[in-house]
A = this chain, B = another copy of it.
Amino acid sequence: LVKQFEGESRDRGSWLGIPDDEFATVKKLITKEEVRVVTLAKLRLRHDMVLWDIGAGSGSISIEADHLLPNGKIFAVERNAECRAFIKQNLQAFNTRNVHLVEGDAPECLEDLPDPDRVFIGGSGGHLWEILEVADRRLPADGRIVLNAITLDTLTAANEFFANAGYRVEVVTINVARTRPLTDYKMFEAYNPVYIISADKQ
């Protein structure tokens, strides 16, 4: 009963743009609201696609993607047990339908998943290159991989991979600053910049 009530109170229909503080999370591990929706836009999701969300963190990308993939499947891959506990909690709170939580290390744990139409990489646990190799092998032509990078190292490695593999690449860098709603004065606080890399298989 309580659960149903929670579900109702948080049912957002097709709402886009869930505020960061509605997710249970280790604070540092959430993709900020503004970056999250731009990432979703870059994923070019069609209603029936299969999405791999690798390094799912708090599950925020998978959860927002759930509404955009009513006939699709989302695999939220996370190797960290503490994060997985938060993901479970968030999946329940937001009543997702099509998100499957996958436990384990990428790329190994990707083997049993259905081939993806889209791959999002939010974290790679130091195995970026291997993950990209598997994603590339499993992705159909016209498939798309999107990465969020906060270090130059990830940005550089991803660009090198995609150049070698013949992908068409766009990099967007986003600097967001926001004022807090409940303060007397409006001071801008900056997020760290994020690079969103979108790569199309040719």
Do A41 and B45 contact each other (CB < 8 Å), given the known contacts A175-B190, A177-B192? no
By beta carbon, the residue of chain B nearest A13 is B47
How would residues 7 to 18 of chain A score, 1 for a CB under 8 Å from any chain B CB and 0 otherwise?
Answer: 000001111110
Establish whether residues B181 and A173, one from each chain, have CB atoms under 8 Å apart when the complex forms: no
Nearest-CB distance from A38 to chain B (Å)? Answer: 5
Residues of B close to A170: CB separation below 8 A: 178-181
List the one stretch of A91-99, A101-109, A149-157 in contact with chain B. A149-157
Of B48, B156, B179, the contact of A156 (CB 8 Å cutoff): B156
Interface: A171 (CB within 8 A): yes
Contacts A13-B47, A17-B38 supplied; 15 other A-B pairs, CB < 8 Å = A16-B16, A37-B38, A37-B40, A150-B187, A150-B188, A152-B159, A153-B185, A156-B156, A171-B178, A172-B177, A172-B179, A174-B176, A177-B192, A189-B192, A190-B190
By beta carbon, the residue of chain B nearest A178 is B172
Establish whether residues B15 and A46, one from each chain, have CB atoms under 8 Å apart when the complex forms: yes
How would residues 117 to 161 of chain A score, 1 for a CB under 8 Å from any chain B CB and 0 otherwise?
Answer: 000000000000000000000000000000000111111100100
Interface: A68 (CB within 8 A): yes
Interface: A70 (CB within 8 A): yes
User: Among residues 16 to 48 in chain A, which have CB atoms less than 8 Å away from a CB atom of chain B?
Assistant: 16-17, 33-34, 37-38, 40-48
User: How many copies, total?
Assistant: 4
Establish whether residues A171 and B186, one from each chain, have CB atoms under 8 Å apart when the complex forms: yes
A positions within 8 Å CB-CB of B = 12-17, 33-34, 37-38, 40-48, 67-70, 150-156, 159, 168-182, 185-193
Of B17, B41, B42, B193, the contact of A44 (CB 8 Å cutoff): B17
Residues of B close to A46: CB separation below 8 A: 12-15
Do A176 and B179 contact each other (CB < 8 Å), given the known contacts A13-B47, A15-B46, A151-B186? no
